[in-house]
Amino acid sequence: MYDIIGYCEAETVSEATALLAQNPNLRLIAGGTDVLIKMHGGQIEAAELLSLRKIKSLAEIRKAEDGTVVIGAMATFTKVFNDPILREVIPILTEAAISMGGPQIRNIATIGGNVCNGATSADSASSLFALNAQLKLVSQQGERLVPIREFYLGPGQVALKPGEILTEIHISSDDYQGFGGQYIKFAMREAMDIATLAVSVVCKLHGKTFEEVRIGLGVAGPTPLRCLEAEVYASGKDVSEETVAEIGKLAVNSAKARTSWRASKDYREHLVEELVQRALKTAIVNAGGEQLV
């Protein structure tokens, strides 16, 4: 059963924030693939829903004059995957998008809803972490930009204040220009499965050394995370098998893996070490470097 006691739709962001200010009990619904499942399972009762599906501006993907890529929170995963801007400059995000669910789900699930659900297994999360994404949050009191690493507070918990709506995801040109990347989703099935581990790696090279490496992990802890110790180690190091192997080992230190019905803690840590190396080797080639044997 879907225990819906009220439903309204907004056609603009200002209308949506006004409705939220008037009724703090309203629960936002985008594609509905998360909210409706929770309602069906009894996790949400007596729901008053505010739909954002008619706010067309929130589905846009564009590049700003300063090169910042702006992704509307209501952009579906199908739109993210097919967008020519993202395919050209941030392909790891399109790789993450196509890994999410099946075609029917991708046609309605939104990237904003995926982020706001607060799940460590969110298919977009590890890539957005590696890309230093910032989230534009809007309310009647104004707007603010929040780094995505500060947005996830715990399992299913995010830093949305009462009355706020996630409207856009911003990725600065400094965080994607000159970088090569790779996304790997490891799951028990080849399709339509929740990740056992998700790894996103981006790197920029200076000749035959690493100028910068960023590593985002999903399902390696209660929230998505970055492997900061491994990233610091990588800076200025030679691009070599030995360096990549050490980066993989250090990445495990940042993981907060636990045993679940999908995998044991030890197995997840093994996956972190192995998949970070695999992703980084491909990212090196995508950044213009030579393939490591």
In a shared domain, residues 87 and 134: yes
Q: Which residue has the higher pLDDT, 72 or 42?
A: 72
Is residue 226 a part of any domain in this protein?
yes
Is residue 291 a part of any domain in this protein?
no
Tell me the pLDDT band of 148, cut-offs 50, 70 and 90.
very high
In a shared domain, residues 195 and 124: no
Q: How many helices (H) and strands (E) does the chain have?
A: 12, 14
Structure token pair of residue 192: 């339509």
- Of 34-38, 55-59, 163-167, least confident by mean pLDDT is 34-38
Q: Strand pairing of 157-158 and 61-63?
A: unpaired
Share of the chain above pLDDT 90, in %: 77
Is residue 272 a part of any domain in this protein?
yes
* Closest residue by Cα to residue 84 from 114, 56, 66, 62: 62
Q: Which residue has the higher pLDDT, 32 or 178?
A: 178
Q: Which of 12, 35, 51 is the last residue of a domain?
A: 51
In a shared domain, residues 65 and 8: no
Is residue 83 a part of any domain in this protein?
yes
- The predicted pLDDT at position 42 comes to 67
- Checking if the pLDDT of 130 tops 70, the result is yes
In a shared domain, residues 98 and 199: no
Run of H or E including 152: strand 152-154
* Closest residue by Cα to residue 187 from 164, 223, 219: 219
Q: What is the mean pLDDT of residues 237-264?
A: 94
CATH of the domain at 68: 3.30.465.10
Q: What is the pTM of this model?
A: 0.94
State which residues form the domain around 108. 56-174
- The predicted pLDDT at position 102 comes to 87
Q: What is the pLDDT of residues 66-98, one digit of tens each?
A: 999 999 999 999 999 999 999 999 999 999 999
Tell me the pLDDT band of 276, cut-offs 50, 70 and 90.
very high
* Mean model confidence pLDDT for the chain: 93
